[in-house]
Amino acid sequence: MEAVSRVEGVLAAFAQQAAPTAPAATDGSGFASSMARAVDDLRALQSQSETLGVAAVTGDLNDIHSAMIASTRAAVTLELVAAVRNKGVDAFNEIMRMQA
């Protein structure tokens, strides 16, 4: 269940970034910190998945479902972070193409 809360934390970080609040700093630090938190959460999920995978291979794991769930969560979170990054790069490129 800890991995579920990490995925929810990643989603909450992106939701906080998108939520209308007081005027944000224009230096991009809010987005950068959100991405940094998302990457940190992703690393934690991948580490947990790797630990459970090693336990499964060595025979120390009693429940293979937990290893598969952790692996899938890590993969889905990686896809989410990559998609957000790609959209950010696309938005930046679009802004750079705009004429003043």
Residue 22 lies inside a defined structural domain of this protein: no
Residue 91 lies inside a defined structural domain of this protein: yes
Give the pLDDT score at 83. 94
pLDDT in tens, 47-95: 999 999 999 889 888 888 988 999 999 999 999 999 998 998 999 999 9
Whether the pTM exceeds 0.75: the reply is: no
Residue 74 lies inside a defined structural domain of this protein: yes
d(CA 69, CA 52): 10
- Rounded to the nearest 5 percent, the helix, strand and coil shares of the chain are 80, 0, 20
Residues spanned by the domain of 75: 2-16+27-97
Give the pLDDT score at 32. 83
Residue 21 lies inside a defined structural domain of this protein: no
pLDDT in tens, 13-49: 666 655 555 555 567 688 788 888 989 999 999 999 9
Q: How many domains does the chain have?
A: 1
For residue 24, what is the DSSP state? Answer: P
Give the pLDDT score at 2. 62
Residue 70 lies inside a defined structural domain of this protein: yes
Residue 61 lies inside a defined structural domain of this protein: yes
Residue 43 lies inside a defined structural domain of this protein: yes
Residue 83 lies inside a defined structural domain of this protein: yes
